């Protein structure tokens, strides 16, 4: 049986070799690739006969590294995974660690996390759709989006002090109290976004050139997408109604009223439209969360897990002891394992953590959504054109940093 | 593609106006032209500096207290908390003749931060029990060699002291 399979594979390979095909390395550092992806394609003219997707050019051994890190230190490497939406990764990891420790964080912290998560979703989709436009030859819309992404980064900067590598949240709460005008800033930021989206729609959505570039390009059926393990907007574009915010709510997503946009065909245009609509829904969530944000403490009352306030550390003996204990011994969750997935901007971002009772995770696995999209690329690019290949990869929203961790 | 098309976004029925390329191009040009008259949002960086928030995590500083004594006692908590191993501390006992310059009898003989290794996560600031190390809004690191970006204690320590600084 195995011999037959191997024989058939070899026969196919030789048949391909006999045809006069052109080999092209689309990547790892190709100007059309956004990130370090390598696709070895065999071309017949401009048509891709065979595509081999390779990974391994951006591997930074995050999973192994995190076995030597304390639970709060792991936070610093999660924001280097999907660097377009780093806070989403931070929040996902912190929620996973809290599930392992069995902490319930206050409602206010959950709402702030939701707000930051959705701001990240909007700026991630802005980048993805903007880049899709750039790849299709429309540079302008991308730049108009960048302006508002910059304003979002100013909120991050006021909140945590960094723009890209945010290191938001700690296990058990936020990393520091909210700054006074947080709510006003967020509401002010979302005010111009509908107009910006409308403008982007004018530029691209009903433009015939863009539609003809995108429709029926790399279409995938819902069943096939599920077989590959697709998630997030790419799965919803194929018509499968699966969103972790609705199906398995975390961080009080059940409090908010929003809809899940669905596509039908799973082609590039559907993915684009699903993302555009998701931005509108995210705006709704942010508005609800900011307006209904309850007052309350900015961290859970867990002195053996969350660092005490600095004021107490300098003056109070008990706080000083807790401070030393948390830094020197780390946070030690009970033995066990946990899987927590969040609906990150580009799909289901999961954290599987095994604890042996020590201060470091015994094993930590990141389920990055890009990994599964990238496996499907070989099939999606089969028999397509090179120009479509570029659009396919950028519409998948695969981020090299997350693909290989 | 023999599978029946499902089309929730109505993308295949282009209207006549959309079928003609010209109106779409004019609309796009209109949007671009409207931006032409808006105030530019870019900042001419080296001349014009962006305002950063006071929580910005940039260059580190080692504080002194009201009497000008070094706050750092060389407890190595920041070294332990650092995920990037950027901080190197050698701790020792304060010699008798220099006792008035330190708060306790333990101090950091050398205190080095490799600014190229540092990831500016702010965990050292959180870990410090003595209000000694803080991250400041300074963000421009330009040197012509890697060695110069290993900041020593002399470079990091503040020249004057003050009461305990609370970064909110």
Burial zone of A379 (CB within 10 Å; 0-12 exposed, 13-18 middle, 19+ buried): middle
Domain membership of residue B102 (yes or no) is yes
Residue-wise pLDDT for B97-107, tens only, equals 888 888 888 88
The domain of B99 spans 60-156
Among chain B residues, the shortest Cα distance to A262 is held by B8
pLDDT at B68: 85
Give the tokens for residue A98.
Answer: 């809290």
Alpha carbon A35 to chain centroid, angstroms: 15
Domain membership of residue B64 (yes or no) is yes
Domain membership of residue B91 (yes or no) is yes
What distance in Å separates the CA atoms of residue A403 and residue A365, rounded to the nearest whole number?
A: 13
Is residue B54's pLDDT more than 90?
A: no
Domains of chain A plus CATH, in order, are: 62-404 (1.10.645.10)
Q: Which of B1, B4, B6, B11 to mutate to test the interface with A (most CBs of A within 10 A)?
A: B11
Which residues 99-118 of B are in CB contact (within 8 Å) with A? Answer: none
pLDDT at B6: 57
Average pLDDT on A339-353 reads 91
Average pLDDT on B117-125 reads 90
pLDDT at B159: 85
Give the tokens for residue A154.
Answer: 């100013």
Q: Is A208 close to B127, i.e. CB distance below 8 A? A: no
Structure confidence at residue B9 as a pLDDT band (50, 70, 90): low
Q: Does A10 touch chain B (CB under 8 A)?
A: no
Contact between residue A48 and residue A389 where contact means Cβ atoms under 8 Å apart: yes
Q: Is A202 close to B80, i.e. CB distance below 8 A? A: no
pLDDT at B2: 40
Is residue B166's pLDDT more than 80?
A: no
Domain count within chain B:
1
Domain membership of residue B10 (yes or no) is no
Write the DSSP symbol of residue B149. Answer: G
Which residues 170-189 of A are in CB contact (within 8 Å) with B? Answer: 175-177, 179
Residue-wise pLDDT for A120-165, tens only, equals 999 999 999 998 888 888 888 888 888 889 899 999 998 888 888 8
pLDDT at B3: 47
pLDDT at B8: 59
pLDDT at B1: 40
Domain membership of residue B35 (yes or no) is no
Which ipTM score applies to this complex? 0.84
Q: Is A76 close to B21, i.e. CB distance below 8 A? A: no
Closest CB to A161 among B31, B35, B57: B57
Is residue A63's pLDDT more than 50?
A: yes
Q: Does B52 touch chain A (CB under 8 A)?
A: yes
Structure confidence at residue A14 as a pLDDT band (50, 70, 90): confident
Percentage of the residues of chain B whose pLDDT score is greater than 70: 92
Domain membership of residue B44 (yes or no) is no
Average pLDDT on A374-397 reads 86
pLDDT at B10: 60
Domain membership of residue B72 (yes or no) is yes
Q: Is A318 helix (H, G, I), strand (E, B) or coil?
A: helix
CATH code at position B97: 3.30.70.3270
- Beta bridge partners, A347, equal A344
Residue-wise pLDDT for A74-117, tens only, equals 999 998 888 888 899 999 999 999 999 989 899 999 999 999 99
Handedness of CA A403, A97, A338, A354 (dihedral sign): positive
Q: Is A244 helix (H, G, I), strand (E, B) or coil?
A: helix
Domain membership of residue B139 (yes or no) is yes
Q: Which of A106-120, A238-252, B10-24, B82-96 has the lowest mean pLDDT?
A: B10-24
Which residues 337-396 of A are in CB contact (within 8 Å) with B? Answer: none
pLDDT at A339: 92
């Amino acid at each position: 049986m195995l011999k037959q399979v191997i024989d058939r594979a070899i026969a196919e390979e030789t048949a391909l070799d006999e045809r006069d095909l052109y080999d092209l390395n689309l990547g790892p550092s190709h100007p059309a690739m956004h990130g370090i992806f390598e696709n070895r394609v065999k071309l017949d003219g401009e048509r891709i006969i065979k595509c081999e997707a390779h990974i391994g050019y951006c591997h930074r051994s995050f999973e192994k590294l995190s076995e030597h890190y304390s639970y709060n230190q792991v936070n610093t490497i999660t924001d280097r995974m999907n660097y377009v939406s780093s806070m989403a990764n931070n929040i996902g990891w912190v929620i996973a660690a809290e599930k392992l420790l069995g902490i319930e964080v206050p409602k206010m912290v959950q709402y702030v996390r939701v707000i930051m998560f959705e701001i990240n979703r909007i700026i991630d989709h802005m980048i993805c759709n903007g880049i899709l436009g750039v790849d299709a030859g429309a540079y302008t819309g991308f730049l108009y989006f960048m302006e508002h992404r910059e304003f979002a980064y100013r909120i991050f900067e006021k909140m945590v002090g960094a723009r890209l590598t945010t290191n938001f949240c700690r296990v058990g709460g936020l990393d520091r109290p909210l700054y006074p005008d947080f709510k006003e800033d967020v509401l002010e930021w979302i005010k111009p976004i509908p107009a910006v989206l409308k403008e982007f729609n004018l530029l691209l959505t009903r433009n015939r050139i863009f539609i003809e570039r995108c429709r029926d390009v790399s279409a995938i059926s819902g069943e096939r997408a599920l077989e590959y393990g697709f998630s997030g907007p790419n799965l919803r574009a194929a018509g499968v109604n699966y969103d972790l915010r609705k199906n398995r709510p975390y961080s009080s997503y059940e409090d908010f009223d929003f809809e899940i946009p669905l596509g039908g065909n799973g082609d590039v245009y559907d993915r684009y439209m699903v993302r555009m609509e998701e931005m509108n829904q995210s705006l709704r969530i942010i508005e609800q969360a900011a307006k209904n944000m309850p007052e309350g403490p900015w961290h859970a009352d867990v002195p053996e897990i969350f660092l005490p306030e600095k004021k107490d550390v300098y003056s109070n003996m008990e706080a000083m002891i807790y401070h030393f204990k948390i830094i020197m011994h780390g946070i030690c969750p009970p033995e066990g394992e946990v899987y927590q997935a969040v609906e990150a901007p580009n799909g289901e971002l999961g954290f599987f953590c095994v604890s042996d009772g020590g201060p470091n995770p015994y094993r930590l696995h990141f389920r990055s959504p890009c990994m599964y999209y990238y496996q499907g690329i070989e099939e999606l690019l089969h028999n397509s054109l090179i120009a479509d290949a570029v659009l396919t990869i950028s519409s998948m929203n695969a981020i090299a940093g997350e693909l290989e961790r | 593609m023999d599978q029946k098309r499902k089309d929730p976004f109505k993308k295949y029925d282009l209207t006549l106006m959309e079928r003609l390329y010209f109106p779409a191009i004019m609309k796009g040009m209109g949007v671009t032209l409207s931006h032409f008259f808006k105030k530019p949002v870019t900042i001419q960086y080296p001349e014009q500096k962006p305002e950063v928030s006071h929580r910005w995590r940039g260059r580190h500083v080692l504080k002194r207290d009201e009497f000008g004594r070094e706050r750092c006692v060389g407890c190595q908590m920041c070294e332990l908390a650092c995920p990037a191993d950027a901080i190197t501390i050698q701790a020792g006992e304060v010699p008798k003749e220099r006792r008035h310059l330190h708060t306790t009898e333990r101090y950091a003989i050398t205190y080095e931060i490799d600014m190229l290794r540092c990831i500016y996560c702010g965990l050292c600031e959180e870990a410090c029990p003595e209000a000694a190390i803080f991250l400041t809004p300074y963000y421009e690191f330009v040197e012509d060699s890697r060695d110069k970006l290993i900041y020593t204690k002399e470079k990091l320590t503040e020249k004057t002291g003050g009461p305990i600084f609370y970064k909110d």
